[in-house]
Copies of this chain bind each other. A is one copy, B any other.
Amino acid sequence: MSFKKEFGFKRLTQVDEALEKYLKLFKSIDESETVETVNSLNRVLTKDIKSPEDIPPFNRSAMDGYAVRSIDVSGASESSPVRLKLAGYSTTSNPFNGSMGQCEAVRIDTGARMPEGADSVVMLEYTRRVGDYIEVFKQISPYENVSLRGEDVRKGDVIVYGGIPLTPYDIACLINAGIYEVEVFRKVKVGLAAVGSELLDFPSKLPEGMVREVNRINIKYYLSMYYPVEFKDYGIIPDDHDRVREVIEKGIEENDVMITIGGSSLGKGDVVTDIAENLGNIIVHGVALYPSRPVLLSEMSGKPYIGVPGYPVAAAVTARVFLEPVIMKLAGIRGVLVEGRVKGRLSRRVSSRIGFRHYVRVKLKPSKDGFVVEPIYTSGAGILSSLSLGDGYLIIPEDVEGYEAGDEVEVILYRRVIKV
């Protein structure tokens, strides 16, 4: 009895079970390379980075104001200001190098080095300049408005974590600490092909019965936004067993993961399942995920070979649910994916099938009482405008049987800016 019959689509694997079974088969890339920090967006550090120095390297003012001894202005208030003698000015480029005496103050800029003898900074707005003196209208605690040496970061402290994709903030933090080069895992090589004799790339006119292939572009853009990936595009392969087999073999050989889109369902014209069975091991075929049932997760020469459904919405959901975790694992990422949610009330009922995880595309509409969540009705997984007219996914878990109109639900956004 063939695998296909035994594990045919009458038995679908639940998403979490499929991921657990599949991800544990593969190891992270262990090759690394050195890159300029400024070019390391989304790259993954091989290890935590520690600060090579104290930051700040000296005590400095956190405010524009006057450096003082806090004890000198004890009891100062609007009605009984304390008068101090102005002894100098400390700027970031010209620090005050003398020593500040009792009942003296030094005018100081934000970021400038604290004068010796001063322990705190009174903000400008609580002072008044009177000739060579200042009046202070507020008392202050020791070290108030002062950034102490090593307070931000002590030499040897972790400043940026390894094992998660670097953000602009991380890059700024590294450069700020004088770390201009970093060791990162090399990029994940991803082979990509679309399978289907009906597919065309950018035809000037679409012949009847043919379909424009858009899944490769979608998947490339999506994964590149967040992860260190390097795509090798094998283009469109017609439904020809030998040619598809050739491309999958080549793709597995030349990359860390091979992905074909289309050809993974049970149709007679589909070829990738047979190839996966013959050249490797099918781990999961068919998942309890709407709209993405015919996902094929297999292992070939120790690498993941994944068959993604060809319908564009199913391909997009598969990219999120299966490709993203696989890429994370290969890329050396040891963190957890967390997506923000937006609450709203459903404009109408959405039904779902118990035991399946559903990704329902929804539009958010701002209203007086928060967002209205409007499901975008579609009959199938091919309807790309259900993604482009929507703002996010309402995920219906396996143990929930839909939601009623008016229910409060949470939406995972795939846009930062929504149409209103």
Contacts and interface: CB of A to CB of B under 8 A. Distances in A.
A24 interface: no
A363 B183 CA distance: 24
Interface stretch (A68-76, A219-227, A246-254): A219-227
Nearest to A8: B125
Nearest to A201: B175
Interface residues on chain A, size class:
35 or more
Interface string A339-373: 11110000000000000000000001010000000
B109 A269 contact: yes
Given A93-B238, A171-B221, 19 more contacts: A58-B208, A64-B265, A89-B268, A92-B209, A124-B266, A152-B380, A160-B388, A164-B419, A165-B417, A167-B415, A171-B218, A173-B384, A173-B385, A174-B388, A175-B217, A176-B214, A178-B203, A328-B417, A341-B342
A196 B56 contact: no
A351 to B, nearest CB: 15
A19 interface: no
Interface stretch (A77-85, A184-192, A296-304, A329-337): A329-337
Q: Which of A110, A217, A222, A339 has the most CB of B within 10 A?
A: A110
Given A125-B8, A214-B175, A239-B93, A385 B152 contact: yes
A211 interface: yes
B158 A389 contact: yes
Contacts of A151: 379, 383
B214 A172 contact: yes
Query: Which of A93, A111, A238, A265 has the most C-beta atoms of chain B within 10 angstroms of its own C-beta?
Result: A111
Nearest to A161: B419
B93 A178 contact: no
A385 B265 contact: no
Nearest to A124: B266
A244 to B, nearest CB: 14
- How many chain copies? 2
A156 interface: no
Contacts of A176: 212, 214, 312, 384
Contacts of A366: 336
A339 B389 contact: no
A26 interface: no
A292 interface: no
A259 interface: no
A270 interface: yes
12 contacts: A55-B383, A62-B382, A110-B265, A159-B389, A169-B387, A171-B217, A172-B384, A173-B384, A178-B212, A226-B417, A335-B420, A340-B412
A198 interface: yes
Contacts of A384: 152, 159, 169, 172-173, 176
A159 B93 CA distance: 56
Nearest to A419: B161
A147 B314 CA distance: 15
Nearest to A38: B217
A127 to B, nearest CB: 11
A152 B209 contact: no
A297 to B, nearest CB: 19
Interface string A3-19: 00000111000000000
A107 interface: yes
